[in-house]
Homo-oligomer: A and B are copies of this chain.
Amino acid sequence: MASGSGWLCWVLPMTEIRQNRAPAANPDQDFNPCAACTVRDLSICQVLDEPELQRLAEIASNLHFSPNDPIIDEGEQADYLFNVTGGTVRLYKLLPDGRRQITGFLNGSDFLGIALNESYAYSAEAIDAVTVCRFPRRKLEMLLDEIPHLEKHLLGVSSNELVLAQDQMVMLGRKTAKEKVVSFLLSLSRRQEASGGKASPVSLPMTRMDIADYLGLTTETVSRTFTKLKQNQLIKLVAGGDVVLRDMDALEEIAEGF
């Protein structure tokens, strides 16, 4: 989910993060929307120079979605790739009887649709108000041929996702409910930090049901686990559904099963 780490080499020139640009307003193709992009230096665009960015802008459109809007449907023809520029997205797969597994949450600067198959391997929905940058797949592929270091970067992103997927497997297959919930909170915390925020009040835009379907649990178990963590002074729930992590070290140990 987190983009950024390189594969064969670190292609990322870690320019400092410019946080204060205004969000892209209603975008049209008559100016370069990337210039105003708030996640540009965190996303795949960080490896592009001005002319390249211009090329990309020409094939991109900005879209936004309201809570629970579908963004892509599993099995649907994969005509577009996306870059999330704001809000939070859930990716999931369903079993025929309705059981759901959420495979990841995306937010600002995450790339969506990297699976370059004919059809999408999972569904994606907006959790809150979401903005994305959308690229027609065919055009992006052509662009990739012209910008080899972009392709290399995508390979890095992809291989990083693979590492995260394996952590996720350990979590789903071998951790207890408590360890799962704590791991989840810590991963959100690290993610917030990585994108320039604070580690501690972790924001939880998703519902308990989303969390449960991500962790392979039920809402009740997630809720009970939160309650126990509160009782143990390890977390605190505050306004807006945010969670304060009160003892990072203790939480880290719990997450790894010590």
- On A, residues with C-beta under 8 Å from B are 5-9, 93, 95-97, 99-101, 103, 114-117, 121-122, 137, 140-141, 144, 148, 151-152, 154-156, 158-163, 165-170, 172-175, 213, 215-216, 256-258
Contact = CB atoms under 8 A, between A and B. Distances in A.
B158 A165 contact: no
Contact of A216 (B8, B116, B173, B258): B173
A97 B166 contact: no
B155 A93 contact: no
Q: How many copies does the complex hold?
A: 2
Given A156-B116, A159-B116, A169 B172 contact: yes
Nearest to A116: B159
Nearest to A180: B173
Contacts of A99: 174, 257
Most buried by B among A7, A154, A162: A162
Contact of A7 (B95, B116, B122): B116
Given A121-B166, A166-B103, A159 B215 contact: no
Contacts of A151: 148, 151-152, 155
Given A165-B165, A257-B99, A258-B97, A158 B160 contact: no
Nearest to A167: B93
